Amino acid sequence: MHLYMNIRRRNDLDALQQDETYDAVIVGSGPSGAILALELCQAGKRVLMLEAATETGKGFDGYQSLLTRFYSRVGKDNQSPFPVNPNALMPRGSELRKLASGETNSDSYIVQSGPYVSDTVYTRAFGGTSMHWEAKTPRMLREDFKTRTTFAQGLDWPLSYEDIEPDYRRVEREMGVAGEVEDHDGLDLSFPPGYVFPMHGLPLSYLDQQVGKGIDGSSVVLDGQTYPIKVRPYPQARNGVPNDKYDGGEGFTPQGAVASYQIDQGGRCQGNTNCVPLCPVQAKYHSGKTLAKAFATGRLDLLSQAVASKVSIDGATGLVSEIEVKVYHDPDHSAHRTIKVKAKIFILAANAIETPRLLLASGLKSSSGLVGRNLMDHAYLLNWALLPEVAGTFRGTSCTGGIVDLRAGSFRRNQAAFAVDIHNDGWGWATGSPFSDLQQLVDQRNMFGAELQKGLVDRLSRQLLLAFMIEVMPNESNRITVDPSYTDALGNMRPVLSMTIPDYTMRGAAYARQFARTIFSRLGAQDCTAYDPGDYGLVPYHGENYAIRGGNHLAGTHVMGTAKNNSVVDRDQRSWDHSNLYLVGGGSMPTIGTANVTPTLAALAYRSARAILRQLDGQTTAPSGLS
């Protein structure tokens, strides 16, 4: 069916300040905010959503304008579709530079000090980071929820895999996940009997298949255990062929592009290679698809260009009384009006950097003092090589397959687990291919015409990039803080990020490098990996240098736990300190394992929606500890 987007917008700021009829205010329009909005509105509640950015991506024209901007950019980084908005800045890789130990770069939106510089990003736009996410949707493994007990590493969740499993299924329906249960064979997770994903899995690319031919059936030994390895497809929130067996034989209807008029596009992935930063046909899930349904209830209102700047607490009750919001008219001018909005429940869904930033800017460190701490992001180690034969690189979506056999195992007592992505977009992430190859062949080898064409094909279609997504455990010294010296155009304090890559992760990285060499040698590929000593993400470890990239999988900064003294939120993502405040998103996750965080944080949003409805309907009063 067609998904129409008809936004209800609040422009009447005076009336809005007086409006006390909202059941909930949600800060942020990404997946967490969108799912909460839909669940609450469908249950009859009235919701106001605040979005710091403009509404540009909401309709078809706006989405297309982002696409046009992306196409016309020379530098095609993962924020290139989104214009710079000084009133709601976002981190951009292009702002980064190498920093000496103790040296500070405050020219970038996120202020960082050397020596390690994280290039993690998130998108402040209508739809949040779901506009540019890659849409891989692996679930976390059973053992990822209890790493402290099992491996004496990280933190245990106050939830088990079994607690969250039904919500993973809700996410798979809402986002439209294409995958096959059989492809999860041997992994430490389970599905209900007879479960199938809404859509059949997307096929492995030719490149994946070539890698598979070289390595399937082989194995590696780690920590005394033998691990068979093979290339498998990833489940993805990207439209494929509906599975007629889904939902007890009801089948599934993929949701394509959203627009205020009828548009038939995006019902199937077309295999474009720019899933990141923007799917050209909206076959990839973005939270606008969920928001379109929420707006259709008539109970969701949007206030865009509205930056939440302070969460105010009633001293007597400890409840949030209101949120202060700076509403601007023009992204290029800082002129704004400050208003206050009220509701029964306040939900911060601004991501694991912006949510703690807002709390800390409001002076709310929490009883545990853990707001902003335990910042996690996957550490990516890139390895690249040239295959002996043309393998069709640059065809297919950004990533269709990978190696996930080392996501779990007893070795996690000593070193980080990882999942390996095979990149269909060649060495792009590591070297800037294909643009850098073109430049090199023209400038350095004077190629032109047919020779250049042949040279490019030969070079590009043999590229293999293995991206190792390595787990990072929570560590209180990895953190987000604020500092009044660093503010944005509206006078809001910007995030200050302090991060070092723990040795546990680096042991995983060192093993990953060795693992990549093994794979390359089995494929007869020429290892071209070289980490530039001038790389801003360089991490020396045991005499070797590794360039560590961010994964944009932010988590941990308002960690979930069993009690007020060990965590910021309870298992429903409800603040221990302020019982009408919910902090939702990756920030609640105590560990991230080797799964992209979105499916898990989206699953938590369903859990919170139920808790909020119980609270609004008067069934609960206090935050919930261990049951």
Partner 1 sequence: MMPTSAIQDLHELYDYLDAAIQLEHATLPPYLVALYSVHPGTNPDAVQILRVVAVEEMLHLTIAANVLNAVGGKPDLNAPGFVPAYPTHLPSGETDFEVGTGAFTPAALETFLKIERPGMSGRGARQLIAKARNRSGSFLGRHPRDSGWSYYSIGDFYNAIRDGLRTLEEEARKSGGTIFTGEPSRQVTSEYYYSGGGKLRAVTDLDSALAALELVIEQGEGEDHGIWSGDGELSHYYRFQQLQLGRYYEPGDMEPGRPTGAEIKIDWDAVYPVKPNIKLSDFPPKSELLGVAKAFNDAYRRFLDLLTQSYNGRPELLLEAVPFMFSFRNMVNELIRNPLPGGGNAAPTFEV
Q: Report in angstroms how near the CB of residue 1 gets to partner 1 at its nearest.
A: 7
Question: What is the identity of the amino acid at 5?
Answer: M
Using the minimum distance from each CB to partner 1, give the nearer residue, 93 or 267: 267
CA–CA gap between residue 317 and residue 600 (Å, rounded): 32
Q: Report in angstroms how near the CB of residue 422 gets to partner 1 at its nearest.
A: 20
CA–CA gap between residue 246 and residue 194 (Å, rounded): 9
Question: What is the identity of the amino acid at 289?
Answer: K
Using the minimum distance from each CB to partner 1, give the nearer residue, 14 or 264: 264
Using the minimum distance from each CB to partner 1, give the nearer residue, 88 or 283: 283
Q: Report in angstroms how near the CB of residue 488 gets to partner 1 at its nearest.
A: 33
**Number of CB atoms found within 10 A of residue 368's CB:** 18
Q: Report in angstroms how near the CB of residue 71 gets to partner 1 at its nearest.
A: 8
CA–CA gap between residue 572 and residue 587 (Å, rounded): 13
Q: Report in angstroms how near the CB of residue 37 gets to partner 1 at its nearest.
A: 21
Q: Report in angstroms how near the CB of residue 243 gets to partner 1 at its nearest.
A: 9
CA–CA gap between residue 25 and residue 37 (Å, rounded): 9
Q: Report in angstroms how near the CB of residue 294 gets to partner 1 at its nearest.
A: 17
Q: Report in angstroms how near the CB of residue 66 gets to partner 1 at its nearest.
A: 13
Q: 3-state class of 401 per DSSP?
A: strand
- Label residue 505 exposed, middle or buried (CB < 10 Å: 0-12, 13-18, 19+): buried
Q: Report in angstroms how near the CB of residue 327 gets to partner 1 at its nearest.
A: 25
Closest CA to 302 of 32, 4, 10: 10
Q: Report in angstroms how near the CB of residue 503 gets to partner 1 at its nearest.
A: 47
Q: 3-state class of 325 per DSSP?
A: strand
Contact 75, 327 (CB under 8 A): no
Using the minimum distance from each CB to partner 1, give the nearer residue, 280 or 331: 280
Q: Report in angstroms how near the CB of residue 265 gets to partner 1 at its nearest.
A: 7
Using the minimum distance from each CB to partner 1, give the nearer residue, 106 or 260: 260
Would you state the structure tokens that stand for residue 409, as one six-digit string?
């195992």
**CA neighbours within 13 Å on the CB side: how many for 574?**
24
Contact 544, 510 (CB under 8 A): yes
DSSP element (H, E) containing 57? none
CA–CA gap between residue 406 and residue 411 (Å, rounded): 9
Using the minimum distance from each CB to partner 1, give the nearer residue, 100 or 261: 261
Using the minimum distance from each CB to partner 1, give the nearer residue, 453 or 565: 453
Closest CA to 54 of 130, 144, 124, 136: 124
Q: Report in angstroms how near the CB of residue 80 gets to partner 1 at its nearest.
A: 17
Using the minimum distance from each CB to partner 1, give the nearer residue, 182 or 264: 264
Question: What is the identity of the amino acid at 405?
Answer: D
Using the minimum distance from each CB to partner 1, give the nearer residue, 73 or 614: 73
| Angle at the Cα of 598 from the Cα atoms of 160 and 128, rounded to 5 degrees | 145
3-state SS of 417-444? CEEEEEECCCCHHHHCCCHHHHHHHHHC
Using the minimum distance from each CB to partner 1, give the nearer residue, 269 or 370: 269
Closest CA to 265 of 273, 275, 254, 277: 254
Using the minimum distance from each CB to partner 1, give the nearer residue, 395 or 564: 395
Using the minimum distance from each CB to partner 1, give the nearer residue, 95 or 183: 183
Would you state the structure tokens that stand for residue 137, as one six-digit string?
């949707």
> Is there a cis peptide before residue 138, judged by omega within 30 degrees of 0?
no
DSSP element (H, E) containing 603? helix 598-616
Binding residues for partner 1, rule: CB under 8 A, are 1-2, 4, 61, 64, 68, 71, 200, 241-242, 256, 260-265, 267-268
